Amino acid sequence: MHSRIQHIVLSLATTALLSGGCVHPDVPAQDGAEIRFSAGAVQLEDDTRSVTTLDQRTSFEPADQISVYAWHLQESAKIFDAQTVTCPNPANGIWSYSQKKKWRWQDNDYYDFLAVPKTVGGVTVPVSGVTSVPPTTSSSFSLSVPYDARTDDYDLLMAGTRRRVTDVDPSAVVELNFQHILSAVRVLFYRDSGSQKFVITSFRFKDLIVAANLIWGWDESAKKCLLRLDNTEHTHQELFGEDRNSAAPWLETAKFVDLYNPGFYDLLIPQNLDTDDAPSLVIKLRDDVNNAWNLYEPEPIPLKDITIKGTDTPITRWEPGHVYTYEVHILLNGGVLVNVITTQWEDIDAYTPGLML
C-alpha cells in the first residue's frame, strides 16, 4: 500500500507566532470575538513502501487548506460545516475563511470542533465522503469517513475537541491536534541460528476488517475524541503484505538473507484481533535446496496470540495511531516464533532505520 503519514497540530482562534506554520498574533479572546484559525508545524511522510523511517518534516504552504466542522449546543446547530479554511500567505500569518463566526456563549454551553486536512505541504489529502452526524441523546456530534484499506491510498488524520463555557478561558485558542486514525503494520523476517536458509515468497493477513465507516467524535467519559467503526466489511481473503512469487526470488542466491525487511508499512483499519474469526498472518517460504526449493506453508498464525516483545502480553487489538512491527523468527523444520514491537508514530526515532530494531 502506498500511503502518506503525517502529523499536524492546528489551533482555532488567535495564537502566538509559531515557526514553520501559519499563525496570527495573540489578541484577547472573549465572548463575541471572531473565531480565528492558526496552525503549527507539520510532519509529513511520503510513500510508505519506500521509506525506512516515519519522520520527515515540512511546513504548511500557501493555499494549504483544512475542513472544519463545529456544533454549538445552545444553537442546536452546526456553525461550521466542511468550512474551508485556507493559509494564503505564511508570511502574514493569517488563516482565512469567509462569513466569520463569533463565540456566542450561554449557560451550560459547549462547542464541539472536528476537522480533517484538505492539503498539507501543497499535497492534496484525498479524504472523500465525509459526513457530519448531529448529536443524539446517546452520541456526540461526529464525523463519518468511509475508508477501504484495499483501495484508499492515504493516511487518514482527524482532529477534535470540546470547549465548554465552564472552562477557565472558554474563548481562548481552541487547539486541534490532528491524530493518525489508522494503524501502521509491517512484518520483518529473521533466520534463527541453526536454520537452513530460506526465502519468503509471500506473507498476507487473513480475516481482517478491510472497510468501514470511521466515526470520530467527542467521548465525555474519556474527555477526548475517540474512534469507533460502523458498517464494517470483514473478509476471509488473504490480503495486504506482499506476494513475491512472480519474481521467483528462490532462483537468486542473494535473496536468501538472514533478515528480510520488505521495506514498507500497510496502513490498516484499527480493530479487535480477538474475535471468533481471529485475524491471522499467513506465511509461505522456500528453502535453498538446489533445484528443489521446497515450499513451506506453516499454519496461519493468529494475531491475538502474538505477544509484545519481551513480555507475555498479547496484542489483542490494533489501536489508531500505533505502529506494529511483527518480528517473525523462523527455524526451518523447527517452528515459527513471532513477537510484536508497538510504538506510537510520534514516539519513533527519526534517526533509526526502521522501528526499534
Burial zone of 259 (CB within 10 Å; 0-12 exposed, 13-18 middle, 19+ buried) = exposed
Is-contact 316 271, C-beta < 8 A?
no
pLDDT one-digit tens code per residue, 109-149: 999 999 998 887 777 888 899 999 999 999 999 999 999 99
Tell me, what's the pLDDT at 148?
96
Q: What is the rounded CA–CA span in Å between residue 287 and residue 275?
A: 33
Q: What is the rounded CA–CA span in Å between residue 168 and residue 147?
A: 38
Least confident of 17-31, 66-80, 159-173, 333-347: 17-31
Tell me, what's the pLDDT at 82?
95
Is-contact 93 84, C-beta < 8 A?
no
The set of cell numbers assigned to 153 is: 491510498
Report the residue count for the chain. 357
Mean pLDDT, the chain, as a whole number?
80
Least confident of 163-177, 270-284, 286-300: 163-177
Tell me, what's the pLDDT at 335?
65
pLDDT one-digit tens code per residue, 142-162: 999 999 999 987 888 888 999
pLDDT one-digit tens code per residue, 325-357: 899 998 887 666 666 666 555 544 322 222 221
pLDDT at 179 exceeding the cut of 90: no
pLDDT at 286 exceeding the cut of 90: yes
CB under 8 A, 24+ apart: contacts of 194-198: 194/331, 194/334, 195/330, 195/331, 195/332, 195/334, 196/287, 196/288, 196/332, 196/333, 197/256, 197/287, 197/288, 198/256, 198/285, 198/286, 198/287, 198/288, 198/296, 198/330, 198/332
Q: What pTM was estimated for this model as a whole?
A: 0.83
pLDDT one-digit tens code per residue, 194-239: 888 999 999 999 999 999 999 999 999 999 999 999 999 999 999 9
The set of cell numbers assigned to 146 is: 468511509
Tell me, what's the pLDDT at 150?
94
Tell me, what's the pLDDT at 350?
27
From 64, 69, 14, 67, select the one nearest 41 (Cα to Cα): 64
Q: What is the rounded CA–CA span in Å between residue 107 and residue 3?
A: 45
pLDDT at 44 exceeding the cut of 80: no
Q: What is the rounded CA–CA span in Å between residue 208 and residue 272?
A: 9
Burial zone of 279 (CB within 10 Å; 0-12 exposed, 13-18 middle, 19+ buried) = buried
Give the chain's largest Cα–Cα span: 80
The set of cell numbers assigned to 100 is: 466569520
pLDDT at 77 exceeding the cut of 90: yes
pLDDT one-digit tens code per residue, 289-325: 888 999 999 889 999 998 888 888 889 999 988 888 8
From 264, 283, 271, 282, select the one nearest 325 (Cα to Cα): 264
Q: What's the distance, CA 245 to chain centroid?
A: 30
The set of cell numbers assigned to 130 is: 465525509
Give the three-state DSSP class for 254: helix
Tell me, what's the pLDDT at 94?
65
**Pairing verdict, β 224-243 and 198-219:** antiparallel
Is-contact 176 11, C-beta < 8 A?
yes
**DSSP track, 188-204:** EEEE-TTPPPEEEEEEE
Tell me, what's the pLDDT at 58?
41
Q: Interior CA angle at 308 toward 301 and 321, to 5°? A: 95
pLDDT one-digit tens code per residue, 26-43: 333 456 788 877 655 454
Is residue 207 within a helix (H) or strand (E), and if so which, with residue range?
Answer: strand 198-219
Question: Band of the pLDDT at 262, cuts 50, 70, 90?
Answer: very high
Q: What is the rounded CA–CA span in Å between residue 262 and residue 41?
A: 31
Q: What is the rounded CA–CA span in Å between residue 84 and residue 69?
A: 9
